[in-house]
Amino acid sequence: MSSRSFINLRNWILVAVASVALGNASVVAGEVPIKAQLIWGTDGAKPDDKDFKELDPKVREKLRHLRWKNYWVVKAKTQDINDKEGKKFVLSEKCAVEFKELADDKLEVSLYTIKAGGAEKLVKTFPCSLAALKNGEYLILGGDDKEKWDDAWIVIITCGKVK
Amino acid sequence: MNTQELTLNLQAYVDGELDAAQRAEVEKCLAKDADARTLVTGLRQLSEILKQGEPVAKVSDTREFYWSQIQRRIQAQEKAQPRSTESVSTALSWLRWLVPAVGVAVVAVVVTLQHTAGSAAPAQKGLVENKGQTEAGSTVFRSESEGVTIHWLN
């Protein structure tokens, strides 16, 4: 093999390796695992007929600004989101959250309430920094429970892949 | 300086409430009077015990979030309250102007509709497109040090 064709072959190998590396990098960079937990905040005890888990103490510490004694995990879901399409997490028969990655490492979080018959109604959209979530920050949405006095619903959103 | 006056001065001395001249006078008394020294020692010990035993008042919420919750509840109550008589009389005074204004507006709309009768469909389409979804309000609390942002829906 002449030195010229060897250089050509080497260049082709370098290009191929770089393409594979960049391709993998784009897959890793494009997919972000987002975790959403629906929490029930109450001063009451856990109902016997429900299999709710107690909230992780580390996460509970983040709720120290709230006043309830008990925080039960109703549902937790982790899913990769990517920049191409929004991902909707149905957290209960009455609540869903949609995530959509925006430009500049931003994330749009839309909270939906699910009406009888399955019709969804947008409650509010919360823009947030995806970079902050990746750094371990917590986005917490909450409100007073309309059906049970003095209880609250809380949605805790974190990134499953913290830097 | 009589006994009562001396006792008060000793108390003020321990509490650091005397000026320089009064302090010098009390210290002169203390140098001579063993009972006064004993009293001052007792008062200082008592003060320390009270400081150590004082319960620390802690609330579960941070100050900002606590007040934001109160503000939210006040706003909710204000919305729920019926209109006062003052607001009703204000509304009645507005009606004097509103009724003729509505009449003029109705005439204007009728005239406009007559002129644009052929293009009714695009106008209706525009109304539908402009109908947006009303989003709920929320109170935002952020703690930079803890890395937490809370949106509390009203």
The sign of the CA dihedral A36, A106, B133, B87 is positive
Portion 31-90 of B in contact with A at CB < 8 A:
60-62, 65
CB pairs under 8 A between A and B: 57
Give me chain B's average pLDDT, please: 75
pTM metric for this prediction: 0.51
Low-confidence winner among B51-60, B111-120, B125-134 (lowest mean pLDDT): B125-134
Q: Would you state the pLDDT for residue A24?
A: 40
pLDDT for the residue numbered B116:
53
Residue A130 makes CB contacts below 8 A (sequence gap 6+) with A32, A101, A105, A106, A107, A159
Structural domain total, chain B: 2
Question: Per residue, what are the HEC states of chain B?
Answer: CCHHHHHHHHHHHHCCCCCHHHHHHHHHHHHHCHHHHHHHHHHHHHHHHHHHHCCCCCCCCCHHHHHHHHHHHHHHHHHHCCCCHHHHHHHHHHHHHHHHHHHHHHHHHHHHHHHCHHHHHHHHHHHHHHCCCCCCCEEEEEECCCCEEEEEEC
* Residues paired with residue A89 on neighbouring β-strands, in sequence order: A97
Residue B146: give the domain boundaries. 128-154
Q: Give the span between the Cα atoms of A48 and A56, in whole angstroms.
A: 20
- Output phi, psi for B153, to 5 deg: -75, 135
Return the pLDDT at A61.
92
Look at residue B118 and tell me whether its pLDDT is greater than 60. no
Give the closest-approach CA distance of A100 to chain B in angstroms: 18
Distance between B51 CA and the closest CA of chain A, angstroms: 27
State the complex-level ipTM.
0.78
Share of chain B above pLDDT 90, in %: 10
Alpha carbon of A122 to those of A34, A113, A125: distances in Å? 20, 6, 8
Confidence of residue B53 (pLDDT cuts 50, 70, 90): confident
Contact A143 B141 (CB under 8 A): no
- Give, for all 163 residues of chain A, the pLDDT tens digit: 555 665 566 666 555 544 444 444 333 446 789 999 999 999 988 887 788 899 999 999 999 888 899 999 999 999 888 766 788 999 999 899 999 888 888 889 999 999 888 889 999 999 889 889 999 999 999 998 877 778 899 999 999 866 5
Nearest CB to B61; choose among A65, A121, A135: A65
Work out the number of other CB atoms within 10 angstroms of the CB of residue B22: 13
Higher pLDDT, A111 or B115: A111
Q: Where among B53, B69, B89 does a domain terminate?
A: B53
Using the 3D structure, point to which of B11, B26, B53 is the last residue of a domain.
B53
Is residue B124's pLDDT more than 50?
A: no
Residue B24 lies in a domain: yes
Q: What is the reported pLDDT for B86?
A: 60
Residue B145, domain member (yes or no): yes
Residue B77 belongs to a domain = no
Say whether residue A125 is in contact with chain B using an 8 A CB cutoff.
Answer: yes
Q: Among B16, B36, B53, give the residue marking a domain's end.
A: B53
Residue B135 located in a structural domain:
yes
Q: Which of A127, A129, A161, A145 is nearest to A38 (CA)?
A: A145
- What is d(CA A151, CA B16) in angstroms, rounded to the nearest whole number? 50
